[in-house]
Amino acid sequence: MSLHLLRCHLQGKTVTASTMVSASGVPYATATRKLAEMQRQGLIEQRPRSRTGRSFSLHPSESMLTFWAQLSDRICRLGQQTFGGTGPGGSDYFFGGSYMGTRGLIPPPSVLPQPLRLPGGLRVLVHGDPTFMVMDALKRQIEQIVGTRIHQRAFSIDRLREEALRNAARPQSRYDLIAVDLPWIGEFVTRGVLRPLDEVMDVARLDPGDFHTAGWRGAHWMGRPYGVPSQTTPELLFYRKDWFAEAGIAAPGTTDAMLAAARHFHAPRRGRYGIAWNAARGTALGHTFMMVCADFGQPLIDMPRIAGGYDADRLDRDTQVTIDTDRGRAAAEFLLELLALAPPDILSMSWYERVRPYAEGKVAMAYGYTLLAPYFELDPSSSAHGNTGYLPHPAGPGADPVAPVGGYVLGIPANLPPERVPEAVEALIAFTSPEAQKLYVQNGSRTNPRYSVGADPEVRRLSPIFEAVDQMSWRDELQFWPRPPIPQISRIFQICGEEFHDMLRGVTRPGDALARAQARAEDTLRETIT
């Protein structure tokens, strides 16, 4: 009976008392007595299936899910001990490791005690990236958890921003939850797109201390939370460990070392290139320039210096653009050096295109968000599968390594009808819980906003990326200041992406590109955002 209940829970299928009895394989009276006993022990929860409350569905309780997770982990370790093999993450069976590991094991998500009461179902606006697509693939199971239908619309990054702004102009929001890229927080708060969370919920229910610090801070504006991290996905340097080891080259920690390694591996006649990155005109290259500036210790606007970088928590004051500087010029010239070591179609490469040649074994290194790692981590035919190392951005002279934090928060639209807000809050908590985040990882996601999920032994066995990101967070290398969430940031992305694309094409010189980007960004900062 327990196996039937757990299997149906994981498959998103409805279970009733009659189906439990039928699955037991014992006489009716025996099965009903056992079912009542399991309910008294707190192993089974029942949830109303109708408004009258006369019919119920049955679900495993949090206690049953925890016991099952511990048993599953124990069986796995016994199998390794008996039959040999340690799996991809190695074995920590001896010296009590298996017992210690189980304490950090996160069980599957349990159902909400009461199903969400949302006419028409839960409506969610998201980005069309691998993590949100995992959520869509798990739609049936998540619907079982929240107790209502889910309608998810996905857009590319620029179209997502446009749809969120269009939605804010409507009398009532078409969405209960919307995904917001971290740099948009300031603009969306200023334009009245998002509702502050501390107005509609007890923020302590989210367990803020469990989120990666940079991701949680990035969800705030003027000290108030406007979203919950759904993805914390820093941009890292992916590099081929096997190629580097074979050549006797150490993993690059500086921009000079990275350029030297790229030159060593760059062999266009053999179809092999040094490095791939975002160089497509507009938003894509604009992000790259900002992050490369951070590699040289240069923010795009004037911010107070603090430990770990710059203070991007208070950006509501007048700001000055700091593009046309000595470090800005070093970043621009660095892009020109990267251009000479990149694939021939680099000037049209954006978010996904830069990782594809890396996954195909055509480039030695690639800048990429962790959410793109499934393109090679989940593809055994990729030569990069199992051969990839993860580093923060190598640092320029006099600067420290930085892993610029990207990703999305889920927020509640300011114009959501009041009667839908309490249910949207419950959905928000459920979607961003440790249990849900672990479920996404188990089904292919390589983003994780919570320390507890990154510490889960089952998660760590799936990919080295989680331990690497956790270590970067503890070293204070995860930072969101490289893309400061000021209201004008999207326009500045576009400006930098246009001016430096002209520079890479040879239309303008670095000094001219810096001056033009500086002047246009200053004009943008003077514009009023409403």
Q: What is the mean pLDDT of residues 441-450?
A: 92
What number of CA atoms fall less than 13 Å from residue 335's CA on the CB side? 35
Q: For residue 310, what are the CA distances in angstroms to 2, 125, 214, 230, 282?
A: 52, 31, 12, 24, 25
Report the top-level CATH class of 234-405+479-526.
alpha beta
Cα–Cα distance for residue pair 283/53, rounded to 1 Å: 51
Q: Give the domain ranges of the chain.
A: 2-48+55-103, 122-232+407-455, 234-405+479-526
Please say if the pLDDT value at position 101 is more than 60: no
Q: What is the DSSP string of 211-263?
A: B-HHHHHHTEETTEE--EES--EEEEEEEEHHHHHHHT-PPP-BHHHHHHHHH
CATH of 2-48+55-103, one of 3.30.460.80, 3.90.45.10, 3.40.30.10, 1.10.10.10: 1.10.10.10
What number of CA atoms fall less than 13 Å from residue 187's CA on the CB side? 22
Q: What is the mean pLDDT of residues 439-463?
A: 92
Please say if the pLDDT value at position 113 is more than 90: no
343's CB contacts (< 8 A; 6+ apart) are: 273, 276, 349, 357, 362, 363
**496-519 pLDDT, tens digit each:** 999 999 999 999 999 999 999 999
Q: For residue 451, what are the CA distances in angstroms to 207, 309, 314, 459?
A: 11, 22, 25, 11
Please say if the pLDDT value at position 259 is more than 70: yes
* Residue 313: per-residue pLDDT: 83
**393-436 pLDDT, tens digit each:** 999 999 999 999 999 999 999 999 999 999 999 999 999 999 99
- Phi/psi region, residue 196 (left: phi>0; alpha: psi -120 to 50; beta: rest), is beta
Tell me which of 89-103, 332-346, 515-529 is least confident.
89-103
Please say if the pLDDT value at position 85 is more than 80: no
Residue 411 parent element (H or E): strand 408-411
Report the top-level CATH class of 122-232+407-455.
alpha beta
Asked if the domains 122-232+407-455 and 234-405+479-526 are classified in one and the same CATH topology, the answer is yes
Cα–Cα distance for residue pair 195/206, rounded to 1 Å: 16
Instruction: Give the phi and the psi of residue 387 in degrees, each rounded to 5.
Output: -120, 20
Cα–Cα distance for residue pair 299/276, rounded to 1 Å: 23
- What is the rounded average pLDDT for all residues in the chain? 90
**271-290 pLDDT, tens digit each:** 999 999 999 999 999 999 99
Q: Tell me how far the alpha carbon of residue 273 is from its chain's centroid.
A: 28
Higher pLDDT, 167 or 103: 167
Q: What is the mean pLDDT of residues 240-251?
A: 97
